[in-house]
Structure 1
Amino acid sequence: MDRRAILGRGALAATAAGLAAPILSSPALAQSAPAIRWRLTSSYPTSLDAIHGAGHVFARTVAELTDDRFQIRVFGPGEVVPALQALDAVQAGTVEACHTTCSFYTGKNPAFAFATGLPFGMNTRQQSAWMYEGGGIDLLNELFRGYNCYGLPLGTTGAQMGGWFRKEIKALADLQGLKMRIAGLGGTVLSRVGGVPQQLAGGDLYPALERGTIDAVEWLGPYDDEKLGFHKVAPYYYYPAWWEGAANTSLMVNLDQWNALPASYKAAVRVAAADATSWMVARYDTRNPEALRRLLAQGTQLRAFPREVMDACYREAMALEQELAAKSPEFRKIHEPWAKSRDDMRAWFRVAELSFDSYLAQVAARR
């Protein structure tokens, strides 16, 4: 082969590569993408760097993935709309997006609970698996379209604590007339065993508990609960949060705004939301242990819910599921595949995850 021909082709290729490189790295490509500015209202107090902070992690990642062409400004509750009106603002187009808990809106439709988690439902990994591989995101968006929204998981808390109580819960009878801040279907179950559910925003919880307007409050776990100061006015800290084996928080986007996004920006939103979801649960898992130790050192009384209470709530939760599936087509459509995924994963987890965790818990207890 002609050496000069090889050199000639090599030189030509090198020249072409040299010319192409500046074109690919040029900001001209970024400039061809539209500049978009959104407002996102959060349902979570700005003092809570994990659950509120996940919205900022999401917005920062979207900006990085789009060379700052797509900017999302995060607002705290009350800065644009109150915490529990976040979804309404998105529906109406007052803001483009919100970061919220869908179980706040079960009054609109009980099927919203699936986006957060059902009482005695899936744990963190199971909920994530159902969302991303079990069709959960698609099923939920069939529901959300009727409310002019598109939704994605944006954060998950892991297993939560059962809340702060001004008095001890020794038996089911102690729940009679007990006023507790608890949202969604968990509140419905509580009412069926004699409690009185109250739905309040995060910023209103401490004063309500301090004044005795409510007798108990559930929020999340030690890391957040310590910041909110509940241990100062309620000594008993119960576990587990049977109403949320895991709780997803959600990104809800106005449907017209979502549909108008370029495909690359939609991809950036999906990636950023998934990244923030992983970040949030990691933040809680690494910070809850030390926060719990600090709370116990300050006199917090850690208690497990009595088995009588757990069993009664479980029976009512299972009955509620069946009742909602019988009367709500939207709930039934999601519940059927969700329940199959739940049962299948529980069978597998009993073999592997649960046996491993149970053994290590027993070993730790003997040490």
Structure 2
Amino acid sequence: MAAQPPTESEDAALSMTMAVVASSPAPLLMLDGTLNIVAASTSFCAAFGIDPATAPGSDVFALGAGEWNIPQLRSLLDATVSDAAKVDSYEMELRRPGCEDRCLVIQAQRFAYLDLEHTWLLVAVSDVTQARADKRSKDEALAQNRVLLQEVRHRVANSLQIIASVLLQNARRTPSEETRTHLRDAHNRVMSVAALERQLSAADDGDEDVPLHAYFTRLCESIASSMIADPDQLSLAVEGGDGVVPARVSVSLGLIVTELVINALKHAFPEGRRGKITVDYEFRGPNWTLCVCDNGVGMPSDPALVHTGLGTSIVQALAKQLQASVEVEPAHPGTKVSIEHTQIALVDDDAKPPRPALVVERPAA
């Protein structure tokens, strides 16, 4: 059946639509069912170097020097005319001889008037060239910063090892046992921070997440190599932790593990006592628990002998940053320190009494 001529009402609506399109501050095109231009906004013509007087009636793919004749765009507009698809966001490169390439986002909407015999397309064109260039520049800057960060971490780790060596040499030379103990503690802490920096530098391949099991394993190997003289007598193991956390979280968790392991090595195994320290990390959805447990001599039975120190303050501060609570309890034998983060209360947790936010350091025997 032949198409009916537009009615008076349709002519009025069409004229109004054409006027709106022509005056639009955004680049717009109105096309008929054969993809010829019915109206083009002044902003479109100005943006893409099109003569406003010659645009109406032209084939959209013949605009300019033919740079709009892109097969993918033709297919998408044909599909939109037939109502088989809707071009919500099609990104394309516009290449015109003698001009810089431009990145465009095309949106096309089919609509019909009254008798449904006349089909029209409204095509919106957004120039995102600068936005894409900015994103590329940002990505390049981030990549450069990542390389610089790895280099800084590597240099910091080397510098920390030098400082640790100086501290250890001074500890060996000093006649004061108290000074020697303080210097060795400082040496161990500096070495642990150096180990953290090395692990983060090795793990940072561009991803923001750090696999915890491998991270804890390498960290504990570094601590053990510097503080455990006989691995057959005293061992340090990592269990659980099959998951990933953001790098910033891994730093805090690594420091907590370091402080708790050092504390256990110092106090849990006096007089050459044999034993084991275990680091365990468990995920339960958004909730998690970090445990450092030893099978050493346990906590003093006399509360007067229990005291807090620098390590306790560090663990408490780091746990607070992670919105976690800290608990110390007997392990029979030994001691278990748990850092627990609860974002969603589980049914089984309702019956449990609240855990005190307390960590203690045991005095040397």
The bucket for the TM-score relative to the shorter chain is under 0.3
Please say which structure displays the higher CA radius of gyration: 2
**By percentage of residues, which structure has more helix?**
1
> Relative contact order: is structure 1 or structure 2 higher (C-alpha 8 Å, sep ≥ 6)?
1
**By percentage of residues, which structure has more strand?**
2
TM-score with structure 2 setting the length = 0.27
